Amino acid sequence: MSINIVPQEQLAEQNDKTSIISKIPLLFYPNPKTLYQHRAKRMAFLAKDSPFTDYLNFCAKIVLEQAKLIENSPIKCDLTNTVASAAQQKVAPLSISHYPVDTQWIDYLSPIMDAVVNINSEIDQTIEALAQNTVQQLTDKANLLRNGQFEQVNNNEALFIWSAMSVYYSQLAHHLPGKAVAQMGEHRWLCPVCQSSPVASIVHLGSHVGLRYLHCSLCESEWYVPRSKCTNCDNMENITYYSLDDALSAVKTECCDHCHSYLKVFNQERDPHLDIIADDINSLVLDMETEQEKFAKSGVNPLLLST
């Protein structure tokens, strides 16, 4: 099963009303106005008692600026034609092949960098270097990151570029007019909105209790994935879970013995205040323990690109 986005008027003819999967909310678009505010608060809370206090406080400055940019410099867009053409071509509407990287995200870069000046000399050098980049150079680096070529961009620069792009793409995703349907297809574990990799997965509370969703590292959308299934290779056998505490832990790693990858699972039933980005940073010790078991992380946390 993969998830595709279609215009509202096509929804009735795309969905099989008798199918169980059609009853499940397949996709949640982000609400940037509340998302970054909640994330900043969560980081401040976790930083009070964390082995990664300094880094959480550093990231909180970035996230607070992201929240301010959403409030003070929102984008305006009409993506009706984008969704319609993407549905016709059966591609993700904000994938780089269908919606090429433009320069609007660059407007967010300087304010984000300004939020963390004078933290340390390494960060200041990165900010100074990025400030000297031309629009074309920044666009080229953004294209490399969008294509998953993270090793081609300086890690510290990637953190700032991705943070700025995320502010832009989360707003684009929020404005998408289409609905999600389940169809057969490839790349099912990439974001159906922008085709980026997930950060981790989350088990929701409320009316969607017990359902597992992957959370996009770029546009912040979330899409449904069945539980106890590898989010990297589709394997459903020999899935192992590790945690630092016990079986009821709110944070676990889901490890696949077939492809030897892992991705974290955050369970809001155990902790309703979880934020995937913040809690992923706070639980880095679990990553270290899991990687000692010879598993490699398949997800991407944009605020850990510099580590």
Domain interval for residue 92 = 32-174
* pLDDT tens readout for residues 17-64: 435 455 788 999 999 999 999 999 999 999 999 999 999 999 999 999
Domain co-membership, 104 together with 201 = no
Domain co-membership, 56 together with 151 = yes
Domain co-membership, 131 together with 247 = no
Region 223-229: what's the mean pLDDT? 87
| CATH number of 204's domain | 3.90.1670.10
Q: Is residue 256 part of a domain?
A: yes
Domain co-membership, 123 together with 195 = no
* pLDDT tens readout for residues 65-85: 999 999 999 999 999 999 999
Residue at a domain's end among 141, 174, 207: 174
Q: Is residue 19 part of a domain?
A: no
* pLDDT tens readout for residues 250-301: 999 999 999 999 999 999 989 999 999 999 999 999 999 999 999 999 999 9
* CA separation, residue 53 to residues 46, 47, 50, 66, 278 (Å): 8, 4, 5, 20, 11
Closest CA to 56 of 241, 272, 281, 238: 281
Domain co-membership, 48 together with 170 = yes
Pairing label, strands 2-6, 179-183: antiparallel
Tokens of 128: 């100074």
Residue at a domain's end among 131, 148, 174: 174
Strand-pair partners of 6: 179
Q: pTM of this prediction? A: 0.93
Domain co-membership, 170 together with 192 = no
Domain co-membership, 169 together with 195 = no
Domain co-membership, 231 together with 290 = yes
Please give the DSSP secondary-structure letter assigned to residue 28: E
Domain co-membership, 40 together with 80 = yes
- How does the average pLDDT of the chain come out, rounded? 90
Domain co-membership, 99 together with 151 = yes
Amino acid at 151: E
Q: How far apart are CA 32 and CA 172, in angstroms?
A: 10
Q: Which helix (H) or strand (E) holds 46?
A: helix 32-47
3-state SS assignment for residue 293: coil
Residue at a domain's end among 174, 199, 227: 174
* CA separation, residue 145 to residues 53, 98, 211, 219 (Å): 27, 16, 30, 13
